[in-house]
Structure 1
Amino acid sequence: ELLEMVSKGGGENAVLRHTQRNKKLFVRERLKLLLDDESFLELSPLAGLNMPYGHVPAAGCLTGIGKICGIWCVFMANDATVKGGTIYPIGVKKQLRAQEIAMQNRLLSVYLVDSGGAFLPLQSELFPDKSHGGRVFYNEAIMSAMRIPQVAVVCGSCVAGGAYIPTMAEEAVIVDKIGTLFLAGPPLVKAATGECVSPEDLGGAKLHSKVSGCSDHFASSEKEAYECIRNVISTLNYDPLPEEVIEPDSPLYSAEELLGLAPQDYSCSLPVKLILSRLMDGSRFQEFKAYYGTTLVTGFGHVEGHLVGIVASNGELSHDASLKGSHFVQLCSQRSVPILFFQNTAPHTAEPTSISQSNRLKAQAAMMAAVACAAVPKITIVIGGCYGSESYAMCGRSFSPNFLFLWPNARVALVDSRRFSTVPQAGDSDCTGDESELKHLKEKLEEESSAFYSSARLWDDGVILPQNTRKV
């Protein structure tokens, strides 16, 4: 239901105004013309839901990975039906994440620009800091230096700082009558100089194609623009990666059964091998150290024909399990095998003795170091709990996995609100706090630990259905 809601952008009225009055294509129609005729992966579609500053469907922009002329690309497309096309802080964060993915994976980047610029009431969260709006342009320059191609289509307003996006791209197309490009629009020009000028005369397609040179290609329609950009991509000499034509074996068990296997609680989940058997090619899994540190399952298998190392939670991350995980991750790094982490970690619990606690701490630290330093692609799927320090060793967000996805049942928090009854106060271990304050804190933790709260803030790359895990 949430995905269906955000797919409608700013709502029916906004889409009608965009398509009928402004004579522009809806962003999802644009992607149909741009991408090859096959499925694509949309990233963080639930970003921007129920934010403190309001509801911003899909953060006002669509990002994802798809193919253009057979070449894998990252796309960033503004949705001008959301908040009039203005950019909110969550929208900046989403674009920066898409650029990070492009740099990590050396993927060609395509920008579809249709934006009214920053939402000024929130400028302090958009402009001044290192990871705010200016970082988009910095990343463009760095990606160019890395020889990662970037192309852009100006298919609407392109105002203020956003005007740098197409001008810093290697090649840009601008659409006649609807594409405009300027630092300050007609209202600001009039306020500053008293001069009345039309958007077309100030920064239209003809001006930038014939006079300024900011655009490299002129298109009389949006359809022509996307045909043009596809032709540009086909001449970039950026060859697609060769792909195996061998059809991989399907799992022996139905992926639909994952719905019933999704862990509801880290302490009473089913053996994780039941989940792996519904994800691996042919349900084949070569386990590593099967009888040692059994609360962590490690081993090799294939997913869609690709060899991967598996690190999967099967209970609390004990001392032995941490040593096992550290050893296996180092093996994968040595052999250049990508790693898939299936995370269902437990919140911190007290150890019976200080010695066992210290040993466990040291072993988990070793696994963290191994995960951080493993120079291979890492993808994390949170299939249950993502709690406390154990989540770091299992390649949580702060350990920079290439991608991190959540199942809808996932919980992301420092502690589990369902597992404590008292809250010790700093410096006073006997104080349980006021009962009403405790209740309020538990309710707050419950709300903030849901998968959808996480995804709305881009703490992950999207919530996916368990049965779609192999496809993603």
Structure 2
Amino acid sequence: MNFASAWNAQGPLARQRREAMLARVGQLRALEQRAAERSAEARAVFEKRGQLLPRERVGLLLDPGTPYLPLCTLAGYLQDAREPDASVPGGGVVAGIGFVRGVRCMVVASDSGIDAGAIQPMGLEKILRVQEIALQNRLPFLHLVESAGANLMRYRVEGFVQGGALFRNLARLSAAGIPVITVQHGSGTAGGAYMPGLSDVVIMVRGRSRAFLAGPPLLKAATGEVATEEELGGAEMHTAMSGLGEYLAEDDRHALGIAREVVGRLGRAPTPALPQGGRVTASLPPPPGEGWGGGAPQREDLLTLMPANLREPVDMREVMVRLVDDGILEFKPLYGAATLCAQGRIGGHAVGFVSNNGPIDVPGANKATHFIQWMCQLGHPIVYLQNTTGYMVGRESEQGGMIKHGSKMIQAVTNATVPQLTIQCGASFGAGNYGMCGRGYAPRFLFSWPSARTAVMGGEQAARTMQIVTEAAHGRKGQRPDPVQAKAQFDKIVQVFESQADAFYTSGLLLDDGVIDPRDTRAVLAFCLDTIAEGEAAQPRPMQFGVARM
């Protein structure tokens, strides 16, 4: 059964929603630009040293005019106890998927314009996430390193211990037959020295690259020995004596040229017929309003669909038909009608959609379970468009077996044998987040719209629940709660839930892979599906161990 859109994208309600969404997109772009501007404040220092800024390095490494998908651009936002206006997102790392000599790669760069590239807590989590994406999708891992290492003024033992996973993942990538290539633009001290140490190929820059387990201050403090940085870990020493570096470059541009040459000789076939109009070329992130190219009306319509107030109804089929190549075929449209399942194509890839027009009831959970298993039989990736307040509650629902039927859906999501991708469009409340393949269920990629809200329940619902519990507790004691205190508690709970449910806050916690402009959704999904398909077609040569440095 095909669905025909009935949405008037020019109506007053649509225009109102469009303005609200554009305001949020503007805030997103401003936050991304804040990180770029903060990094660029170090331009004079970099130029004096004859270096390129981190974003310039990434821009030169990538093929011009080809698509680039930035990842986790809000990492760490509001997680450093700063005021919103002062919090700098990004985690001190620039990361994304792009093309180098026609080869799709994961590119990660230390944002050394901020705190000398010192590893931030959420920056570490960001690197671990993109390493996971590279491993899952068999993407060559290119690391542009210039880091002061751990920030000793903000030392936390758990960061030191958990940071070992970064190096473990480099070893796993190499052993899986996925090339790990490092350009050492600057310093790599202590643990940071293991970044080149666990790479397959290392490119160093004369006079700038440093890699040592203990720099001159620590060496003198620990042993009393006095040595220069060049003697301990300079580029010439490592390329001529220790063997840590394979290639010696004269400057950043030369190093990036060598990196492109190395990728060009990996023996990987370039991606055929690369789409043009990439969102980012030489500068990261894109300027406000820049999209993936084109201005098709269907892309613009996506701004008009999701309300700022998630209590307003939305027909998510209107979203689906604006993402696909040629319409959708709805599955069981009359059964469990609040849960939507449909088939379509995105960029030529056959996919299944699962979405919601309200709570997930017993028939809806059963329909979704059936559909997920059907897609697994066909081998079609599943795209989840989250917009649900969760699983249905109430006497009738409980007696109908909501728990066991919802559990079947969660089992299907957990054990699906096809790639799963999630877009959080609207509400993602309660166990609906689980059943619709939230972060905890390891979708291959997960992105949020600026309108997304994630929480165990809505703020007012949580506050009302606590109010009822408090009133009952006072009632058992023969008391009445103080109305002023009750109101203050109610408002506080609402504020806590609402602030933490916001898409920018949850993205700062890396509960997604980034917040995207709704207009870019089709391009992002097509790019991710291409990435997945290429990874499945690739034939790496896994080994028992990674490539050891000699």
Contact 1:9 1:57 in 2 (8 A): no
Deviation at 1:125, TM superposition (A): 3.3
Contact 2:207 2:235 in 1 (8 A): yes
Deviation at 1:396, TM superposition (A): 0.5
Secondary structure of the residue aligned to 2:39 is coil
Structure 1 segment 72-87 matched on structure 2, within 5 A: 72-87=104-119
The AA in structure 2 aligned to 1:236 is L
Please identify, of 31-40 and 334-343, the stretch whose mean Cα deviation from structure 2 is larger: 31-40
Structure 1 residues 426 and 76, CA gap change in structure 2 (3 angstroms)? farther
Deviation at 1:32, TM superposition (A): 1.3
Contact 2:423 2:449 in 1 (8 A): yes
Structure 1 residues 212 and 83, CA gap change in structure 2 (3 angstroms)? same
Deviation at 1:443, TM superposition (A): 0.8
- In structure 1, which of residues 33, 38, 41 is the aligned counterpart of residue 69 of structure 2? 41
How far, CA to CA, are the matches of 1:351 and 1:420 in structure 2? 17
How far, CA to CA, are the matches of 1:421 and 1:88 in structure 2? 34
> In the alignment, what sits opposite 2:324?
280
Alignment partner of 1:328 is 2:371: yes
Deviations, residues 159-185 of structure 1 (Å, cap 9, x unaligned): 110111112111110011111111111
Please identify, of 97-106 and 345-354, the stretch whose mean Cα deviation from structure 2 is larger: 345-354
The AA in structure 2 aligned to 1:404 is L
The AA in structure 1 aligned to 2:79 is M
> In the alignment, what sits opposite 2:34?
5
How far, CA to CA, are the matches of 1:275 and 1:354 in structure 2? 28
Alignment partner of 1:372 is 2:402: no
Deviation at 1:378, TM superposition (A): 0.9
Question: Quick check: which one's strand share is greater?
Answer: 1
> In the alignment, what sits opposite 2:241?
211
Structure 1 residues 354 and 412, CA gap change in structure 2 (3 angstroms)? closer
Structure 1 residues 140 and 328, CA gap change in structure 2 (3 angstroms)? same
Instruction: Report the aligned-residue RMSD.
Output: 2.3
How far, CA to CA, are the matches of 2:130 and 2:314 in structure 1? 35
Structure 1 residues 359 and 429, CA gap change in structure 2 (3 angstroms)? farther
How far, CA to CA, are the matches of 1:4 and 1:135 in structure 2? 30
Deviation at 1:29, TM superposition (A): 0.5
Structure 1 residues 243 and 315, CA gap change in structure 2 (3 angstroms)? farther
Contact 2:148 2:188 in 1 (8 A): yes
Contact 2:391 2:406 in 1 (8 A): no
- In structure 2, which of residues 370, 383, 387 is the aligned counterpart of residue 340 of structure 1? 383
**RCO comparison, higher one (Cα < 8 Å, 6+):** 2
- In structure 2, which of residues 292, 296, 299 is the aligned counterpart of residue 255 of structure 1? 299
- Specify every segment of 5 or more residues in structure 2 that has no aligned partner in the other structure, as ranges: 1-29, 276-293, 475-480, 525-550
Identical columns (%): 37
Deviation at 1:70, TM superposition (A): 1.1
How far, CA to CA, are the matches of 2:127 and 2:468 in structure 1? 39
- Specify every segment of 5 or more residues in structure 1 that has no aligned partner in the other structure, as ranges: none
Secondary structure of the residue aligned to 1:137 is helix
Deviations, residues 92-142 of structure 1 (Å, cap 9, x unaligned): 1000000000111111111111001112223323112xxx21001111111
Alignment partner of 1:28 is 2:33: no
> In the alignment, what sits opposite 1:69?
101
- In structure 2, which of residues 451, 471, 476 is the aligned counterpart of residue 409 of structure 1? 451
How far, CA to CA, are the matches of 2:411 and 2:390 in structure 1? 20
- In structure 1, which of residues 203, 215, 222 is the aligned counterpart of residue 252 of structure 2? 222
> In the alignment, what sits opposite 1:184?
214
The AA in structure 1 aligned to 2:374 is L
Contact 1:271 1:314 in 2 (8 A): yes
How far, CA to CA, are the matches of 1:426 and 1:192 in structure 2? 61
Please identify, of 258-267 and 430-439, the stretch whose mean Cα deviation from structure 2 is larger: 430-439
Contact 2:97 2:107 in 1 (8 A): yes
> In the alignment, what sits opposite 1:316?
359
Normalized against structure 2, the TM-score is what?
A: 0.80
Deviation at 1:15, TM superposition (A): 3.4
- In structure 2, which of residues 498, 516, 529 is the aligned counterpart of residue 446 of structure 1? 498
- In structure 2, which of residues 138, 148, 155 is the aligned counterpart of residue 106 of structure 1? 138
Please identify, of 183-192 and 288-297, the stretch whose mean Cα deviation from structure 2 is larger: 183-192
How far, CA to CA, are the matches of 2:510 and 2:357 in structure 1? 27
How far, CA to CA, are the matches of 1:317 and 1:397 in structure 2? 19
Secondary structure of the residue aligned to 1:65 is strand
Normalized against structure 1, the TM-score is what?
A: 0.92
Number of matched pairs: 462
